Structure 1
Amino acid sequence: MSLLNRTVSPNSLRVFETAARLLSFTAAARELRSTQSAVSQQIRSLEQQLGLPLFERIYRGVRLTDAGQALFVSVQDGFATIEHTLERLQQQQQHPRVNILTDFSFAAYWLMPRLPQFRRLHPQIDVRIMTNQGVFDWRDKEVDVAIVFCDERTLTTVPRLFHEEVFPVCSPAFLQQHGPIDGLARLADLPLLTLTADQGQSWMDWPGYFQQRAGINYLQSPELTFNNYTLLLQAVIAGQGIGMGWGGLVDSLLDSGILIALDTQPLRSQRGYGLIDAHPKVSSDAKRLLLQWVLDCTAQQVDSQ
């Protein structure tokens, strides 16, 4: 039988914690706005229920026994945990938070430039962004919304934000040095920067691009390989080679002239970014507003193209 079934009340534990912290029944009574005799009775009743002496009565005070000291540490930890939880719940009520899980590139090139708009619309909502470049599993994490690159099968069950559209990109300086780049044969001769898919990701790679463009097998030349698309784009901007550009992610870099698209007709696949409600059975206004905002932004992006 547990101690809870022996009617150890939270109030008794609170009286014990106060008396143990102050090492005085009289001081505990003042803090609790009670009487010394009531505190003494509560402690005596608790000791009887536990079958353990918790205090040694000494001249002008009390001191904890070994059992009392052990219980005091546990009770303080327990009350601290409860108080922390209550504070967190109150903060969430005053400032609701939504947690977003996505990859580095989507966060850097799509989400972050647009996030100030969401914060202007909903200043009361705290947004937390978590990034991962590998295979995503949001079910065991504190995630409300996941925005992830999905295969065709997954996109039949969740909203698609936009299709995968890919095309080679390079910097103006690289094109000036190596151009014109007017065909696949010339493209294959140049350093092609690669984003690895060593964890089973299904995005377009260079062999797939050449195969779909011309039905030829691309023989890899020496190149730089990255596991982070943000770093790959930085290498492209620095003129170290040609990278694969993803529509929806590199648009602002193209518009500003930082990058140049080498193919005006992107390859499109049925893959793309999907918007996932990580815990659909858990509802909140913050999550609902974030989901709708992402859908509205992508709809405006498609309409403007």
Structure 2
Amino acid sequence: MLLLNRTVSPNSLRVFEVAARQLNFTAAARELRSTQSAVSQHIRTLEEQLGLPLFERVYRGVRLTDAGQALFASVREGFSTMERTLERLQQQHRHPRVNILTDFSFAAYWLMPRLPLFRRLHPQIDVRIMTNQGVLDWKDKEVDVAIVFCDEQTLANVPRLLPEVVFPVCSPAFLQEHGPFDDLAQLADAPLLTLTADQGQSWMDWPGYFQQRAGINHLHPSELTFNNYTLLLQAVIAGQGIGMGWRGLVDGLLESGILVALDTQPLHSRRGYGLIDIQPDDNSEAKQALQQWILTCAIQSTSMTPHRLAEGNPASTS
């Protein structure tokens, strides 16, 4: 409230931001294409207006006071927000852009193979893909749409893209060397590759697979764990063991013969990937076009005939 009757020049704040970042008035002057004396004058004027010292003069430079550090954090955040807003406005003027947030595996194995079709249909729309392997947090991010692995409760309120359908997968060479896997006991004796859920995700894991398949507890197999599904699949392809395959993500690898599926009775759950509109008040044509295209692709992919599975059916416990 005390600053309402005082005028703080935006230019002085800009000079302060550069000087605080450089911690050297001469370097700040070079960046601003000004002079060291002009920078010093701006800082003195700002300190007088605020009634607070912002810098301590030290040998060959300056150091921020506590007040200076607090102001620097706020000014830097403010300028950053303005720059992002200006960039977004300029980008929208040139081409509308839609930002998608999802995890590495969905982006790599589902979205990216299909995205060229969307770009052919809508060449005027720019799509930016943002990925994260942990819990997807879109706070403080420029996100329009998120594609998230969801529990049953969340999927009751958002469109479901891919239901969770899982089955063991391995490389053909691994199957030839270690198979066939005719029952769950043989499967449990094989090296199993596990995707961790350190961030609280609720996807199917090996204990859940054994429990739902035969009502038995985990058979304590040897496991190698990963926190990245893309790396896990690379290990499966390399013949290091058996991984859990999700329909919709491993389809291309099955079709090409790079992987084979080991279960003729895939497990279904009520979980899956959902499409979340992060900016529901934004009804731009670009975002609506992308969402509708994603939903159409999801319907087409889930209605496809399941892939032929390899010989060997661990659906039996005998």
How much has 1:141 moved relative to structure 2?
A: 2.0
Specify the alignment match of 1:39 in structure 2: none
The share of aligned pairs that are identical, in percent, is 74
RMSD (Å), alpha carbons:
3.0
Residue type of the partner of 1:275? Answer: L
**Which segment drifts farther, 215-224 or 93-102?**
215-224
Whether contact under 8 Å (1:139, 1:278) holds in the other structure is no
Whether contact under 8 Å (2:100, 2:129) holds in the other structure is yes
Specify the alignment match of 2:139 in structure 1: 139
Specify the alignment match of 2:211 in structure 1: 211
Specify the alignment match of 1:29 in structure 2: none
Specify the alignment match of 1:241 in structure 2: 241
Specify the alignment match of 2:108 in structure 1: 108
The alpha-carbon distance between structure 1 residues 85 and 204, as it changes in their structure 2 partners (threshold 3 A), is: closer
The alpha-carbon distance between structure 1 residues 153 and 176, as it changes in their structure 2 partners (threshold 3 A), is: same
- TM-score, structure 2 normalization: 0.71
**Which segment drifts farther, 126-135 or 247-256?**
126-135
Alpha-carbon separation, structure 1, partners of 2:147 and 2:276: 6
Deviation per residue, 1:105-127 (Å, 9 max, x gap): 10010001011111111112221
The alpha-carbon distance between structure 1 residues 102 and 83, as it changes in their structure 2 partners (threshold 3 A), is: closer
Specify the alignment match of 2:160 in structure 1: 160
Residue type of the partner of 1:282? Answer: D
How much has 1:183 moved relative to structure 2?
A: 0.9
The alpha-carbon distance between structure 1 residues 180 and 84, as it changes in their structure 2 partners (threshold 3 A), is: closer
Deviation per residue, 1:146-179 (Å, 9 max, x gap): 0010000000000001210000001000000011
Specify the alignment match of 1:188 in structure 2: 188
The alpha-carbon distance between structure 1 residues 98 and 88, as it changes in their structure 2 partners (threshold 3 A), is: closer
Which segments of 5 or more consecutive residues in structure 1 lack a partner in the other structure?
Answer: 17-62
1:221 aligns with 2:236: no
Deviation per residue, 1:133-155 (Å, 9 max, x gap): 11122233211110010000000
How much has 1:286 moved relative to structure 2?
A: 1.8
Alpha-carbon separation, structure 2, partners of 1:9 and 1:140: 27
Which segments of 5 or more consecutive residues in structure 2 lack a partner in the other structure?
Answer: 13-36, 47-75, 306-318
Residue type of the partner of 1:259? Answer: L
How much has 1:128 moved relative to structure 2?
A: 1.1
How many residue pairs are counted as aligned between the two chains?
253
Alpha-carbon separation, structure 2, partners of 1:274 and 1:66: 55
Residue type of the partner of 1:176? Answer: Q
Alpha-carbon separation, structure 2, partners of 1:65 and 1:165: 63
Alpha-carbon separation, structure 1, partners of 2:40 and 2:182: 83
Query: Which of structures 1 and 2 has the bigger CA Rg?
Result: 1
Secondary structure of the residue aligned to 1:169 is strand
